[in-house]
Amino acid sequence: MSNVKVVLNRDAFRQQILHNDTLLDDVQEQMEGMAEVDRAVTVYRNDDRDTGNVVATAPARFEAAHGVLTQMLGMVRV
């Protein structure tokens, strides 16, 4: 069995994946839909220089009691 080496072009990866508006829009839409279970869950887009991401937050007690953020993360489909 031989080894395989995978090399990513970081600039292309950053542009095609980390700043892919279509991908981020889809993830944000899914997260916002799931966040409707309670007003305590907040979803927003965070676009900075290096990466773009969708952020979901909830108070620690709410997350500890219900595990909603963990469930949301597990249900996102890309």
Residue 31, exposed/middle/buried by CB under 10 A (0-12, 13-18, 19+)?
buried
Direct distance between the N- and C-terminal alpha carbons of the chain, in angstroms, rounded to an integer? 32
Q: Which residue has the tokens 């829009």?
A: 25
Instruction: Please report the pLDDT score of residue 47 as a whole number.
Output: 78
Average pLDDT over the chain, rounded to whole? 88
The per-residue pLDDT for range 57-77, each reduced to its tens digit, is 999 999 999 999 999 989 999
Q: Is 22 helix (H, G, I), strand (E, B) or coil?
A: helix
Comparing CA positions, the residue from 15, 16, 54, 61 lying closest to residue 38 is 61
pTM tops 0.95: no
Domain segments of the chain as ranges: 10-75
The per-residue pLDDT for range 16-29, each reduced to its tens digit, is 877 888 999 999 99
Residue type, 13: F
